[in-house]
Amino acid sequence: RKEVEQDPGPFNVPEGATVAFNCTYSNSASQSFFWYRQDCRKEPKLLMSVYSSGNEDGRFTAQLNRASQYISLLIRDSKLSDSATYLCVVNTGANNLFFGTGTRLTVIP
């Protein structure tokens, strides 16, 4: 079983839409969680960390459910510039980061 699993998409949504991505992780001892964004042919960049209490950064909201071992990312009022691949990342506590395969989002005018 993979450490981190994500729906690969693609998600094609109109501008202004709300879209949500989920990801599950297998190691219950995982200690920290992140969402990264990756543009085509570029390196992954941190979008936001995910905290147990949930956290928000502008149009982006991240949630963690430890009991069910899943992480979510909600994007409100989608912009064309949000088009990218979103990677769910889990740190298992051995200071290793495990990446999901990514969910591809395309925002359509």
Q: Which residues bind another protein (CB under 8 A)?
A: 31-32, 34, 41-46, 49, 87, 89, 91, 93, 95-102
- What is the C-alpha separation between 9 and 16, in angstroms, rounded? 19
- Residue 32: exposed, middle, or buried by beta-carbon count in 10 A (0-12, 13-18, 19+)? middle
Kindly state the smallest distance separating residue 3's Cβ from another protein, in Å.
9
Nearer residue to another protein within complex by CB, 68 or 96: 96
Q: Report the nearest approach of another protein to the CB of residue 66 (Å).
A: 15
Nearer to another protein, 35 or 78 (CB): 35
CB nearer to another protein: give 32 or 69: 32
CA distance to 20, 43, 61, per residue, from 76 (Å): 9, 24, 8
